[in-house]
Amino acid sequence: MNGNIYHDKRAQWVVYIVFFVSLGLIPVMQADPFLLNQLAVFGIYGLLAMSISLCWGTGGILNLGQGIAFGMGAYGMAMTMQMQSQDPEFSPLPSFMSTNGLEQLPWFWEPFWSTGGGIFLALAVPTIFSLIFGALMFQARVSGPFFAIMSLAMLSAFYILVLDMQPYTNGANGISPRMPLEVAGYSLDPYSPAAYWLIFGLLFSLTVLAKLLNQSKFGQIVRALREDPERVRFLGYNVALYETLIYAISAFIAAVAGCCFTILIQYVSPDQFDVVFSITMVIWAAVGGRLSLIGAIIGAFLIQGSESYLGDQFLNSWHLILGFFFVIIVRFLPNGLAGLLEMLLAKRSRSSTEESPPHGRAKSPAAANAEKAGV
C-alpha cells in the first residue's frame, strides 16, 4: 500500500514537536502579560478538547458532561487557594461562610488546609467520581445518545447543587481567592511566563501520553469497541472496564484543566458547570477533528481565538455564526479539519503514485516492511 503521510507515525511525531516547540517559544517573543494569560487560558481549552477527543474520538463515548470533572477540578483548586489565604488561628473561616451563617469550617473543607492534599483531592475526586459513574453506566451497557443524555443530566444536577449550596460554595458569586497559588514558597503569578509554561507543559505531556495510549494495545481495543463493542466482548475483553477507564482518564485530564483554570483566573463559579460550556468543548473537538488529539486542540484554539477577536465585532450573532459553522462541519466534514487534511493528503499520495506507477510499485514492499517494523 502506498502510504498516506497523514498515517505515518514519524510524521505525526514531527508535527507534535513543531507544534509544541513553537507554542513554548511564544513567551520568549511576546512579553505582554495579559496576552500571555489569555493564551495560557487557550491552553486549558486545548486540554479540554483533547480530553474530549480521547473519550469521544477514540472511545466513541459522547460525553456532554465533561464540565463535571472540569468544574470539580476548578473548585478543588479554588478551595486550596482560598485556604492558603486563611489563618488557622485568627480567620479559619472564608468570609463568605460567615456571611452565610456558618460558624465552623465544613468537614470537607478541612483537607484543603494542605496545598498538596487540596490539589490531590481536586484531581482524585473527579477521577473517582467518573470511575463510579462510568462503571454504573457502562456495566449496564448504556451507550451512544443515552450516555450523552445521562452525562448532561448529571452535569445539570451538579450545576444546581453548587448553586444551591451557598454557605459551602458561595453559590452564584463563586469563590475568588485573593492570592495566586503558592507552591513550596513560590507564588505562581498567573500573568507570568512561568504560568504559561506550566499550562503548556501540562498540555504537551498529557497530549503525548494520550497519543501513546492511543497507539498502545489498549488504544487499539478502545478504537475497536467504538465500532462494535459486541465483537470486542466476544474476543474476550471486558468492554465495560475499558470504557470506564478511557472515560475516567479523559475526566482526569479535564480535572487538570479545571485546576489550571483557577490558577490562571483566580476565580471559580457555577459557570464552570454550565451546560453550554461543556457542549462547546464537544464543538471544539468536532471542528478540529475528534479522531485527532492535536486536531481537537487546534479546533479549540481556532474557535476560541476567533471568538475573542471576531466575537466583539459580531456580538449577539457570534453564536449563530458558530452554530452555522458547526452544522457545516458535521454535515460535510464528519472528521473535522483533521479529516479534511487526511483526505487532501490521501488525494496527493494517490495522484503521485498514479503519475509514476513503476516507482510506486517498487516502493510498496519497502513501505510494507517499514510498517511491519513500526507497528
Q: Give the interface with other proteins as residue ranges (CB under 8 A).
A: 1, 213, 215-218, 220-221, 223-224, 227-228, 230-239, 241-242, 245, 368, 371, 375
Q: Give least dist CB 163 to other proteins, A.
A: 37
Do 54 and 253 form a contact (C-beta atoms < 8 A)?
A: yes
Q: Give least dist CB 108 to other proteins, A.
A: 30
In the complex with other proteins, the residue whose CB is nearer, 217 or 331, is: 217
In the complex with other proteins, the residue whose CB is nearer, 182 or 371, is: 371
In the complex with other proteins, the residue whose CB is nearer, 9 or 178, is: 9
Q: Give least dist CB 41 to other proteins, A.
A: 30
Do 196 and 39 form a contact (C-beta atoms < 8 A)?
A: yes
φ, ψ (nearest 5 deg) of residue 142: -75, 130
CA pseudo-torsion sign 174, 183, 35, 325: negative
φ, ψ (nearest 5 deg) of residue 238: -80, 95
Do 64 and 279 form a contact (C-beta atoms < 8 A)?
A: yes
In the complex with other proteins, the residue whose CB is nearer, 27 or 229, is: 229
How, if at all, do strands 186-187 and 182-183 pair?
A: antiparallel
Cα–Cα distances (Å) from 352 to 77, 340, 346, 356, 363, in that order, read 53, 18, 10, 7, 12
In the complex with other proteins, the residue whose CB is nearer, 13 or 324, is: 13
In the complex with other proteins, the residue whose CB is nearer, 241 or 327, is: 241
Q: Give least dist CB 123 to other proteins, A.
A: 19
In the complex with other proteins, the residue whose CB is nearer, 331 or 372, is: 372
Closest by alpha carbon to 346, among 5, 88, 22? 5
Q: Give least dist CB 4 to other proteins, A.
A: 11
Q: Give least dist CB 3 to other proteins, A.
A: 8
With both helix axes pointing from N to C terminus, report the angle between 66-84 and 144-164 in degrees, rounded to the nearest 10.
Answer: 30
Question: What number of other Cβ atoms are within 10 A of residue 55's Cβ?
Answer: 30
Q: Give least dist CB 167 to other proteins, A.
A: 41
